[in-house]
A = this chain, B = another copy of it.
Amino acid sequence: MNQKTNADGFISVDDIRGQLLKVADRLHKSFKENFGAETIEKYVFESFDLLDAKSEVKVYLPSLTERFARERLQALLKAQNLHDHDAFDILFVCVHNSGRSQMAAGFMSKLGGERVVVRSAGSAPKESISPEVVEAMAEVGIDISQEFPKPLTDEVVRGSDAVITMGCGDACPIYPGKRYEDWTLDDPAGQGLESVRVIRDEIRKRVETLLADLINN
């Protein structure tokens, strides 16, 4: 994280390329049994491009890219049946991945513990999570301040057992053998903390019901 920036907080393209190659190298250590170096590098550079298209804050991108690429490779393992685990892979999708899907993912991670692997994405991700949403979740003891909006990618949908959409319309591709739910919820974008709390509590209830359902079926 201790990288040099210029006066605007940007780093050079050469620096970024060097950092992304290091990211690929680290991910290779974790995934070398299942994926070749080329596949891993492709995912890293593509993940960077996907985030880069949406973000003005270049200085954080290599570390966000590492987290995003790792998540995608883990989803790919699951999609290709290379990683057999007992946990349910659950994906929450909304338009911006800055409010509703982040709250749902936060609750599901906390309530589901090791029974779940949780991901979230947006059909048109924003640059950052809404501060009111971070605040409202912190009030109930869940820290999502380090999460970030991510675009919806194919392998993440394929690697999920359940896909919950919240107003992303028909942006989600549909695959057989998965559970799909569409939740109708107010959009917290631009709303004050009071309104966000109401949406947060509604999301918590729905997550509890979904989790109980998944475990009992």
List CB contacts (< 8 Å) of A103-123 with chain B.
110-114, 117
Q: A4 CB to closest chain B CB, in angstroms? A: 6
A residues contacting the other copy or chain, number (CB 8 A): 36
Chain A positions 132 through 163: 1 when the CB is less than 8 Å from some CB of chain B, otherwise 0: 00010011010101100000000000000000
Q: A70 vs B7: C-alpha distance in the bound complex, in angstroms?
A: 31
**A135 and B26 form a contact (CB under 8 A):** yes
Q: Does A5 lie within 8 Å of B2, measured CB to CB? A: no
Within 8 A of B (CB), among A37-77: 56-57, 60, 63, 66-67, 70, 74
Of the residues B6, B57, B74, contact of A7 by C-beta under 8 Å? B6
Chain B residues contacting A9 (CB-CB under 8 Å) are 3-5, 9
Given contacts A111-B113, A113-B114, 19 further A-B contacts (CB under 8 A): A1-B57, A2-B56, A2-B57, A3-B9, A5-B5, A6-B7, A9-B9, A26-B131, A29-B193, A30-B135, A30-B138, A66-B145, A67-B143, A67-B145, A74-B141, A110-B113, A110-B114, A117-B141, A146-B146
Chain A to chain B contacts (Cβ below 8 Å), 13 pairs: A3-B9, A5-B9, A7-B7, A9-B9, A26-B135, A30-B139, A66-B145, A67-B143, A74-B141, A110-B114, A111-B113, A113-B114, A146-B146
Residues of chain A at the chain B interface (Cβ within 8 Å): 1-9, 26, 29-30, 56-57, 60, 63, 66-67, 70, 74, 110-114, 117, 128, 131, 135, 138-139, 141, 143, 145-146, 193
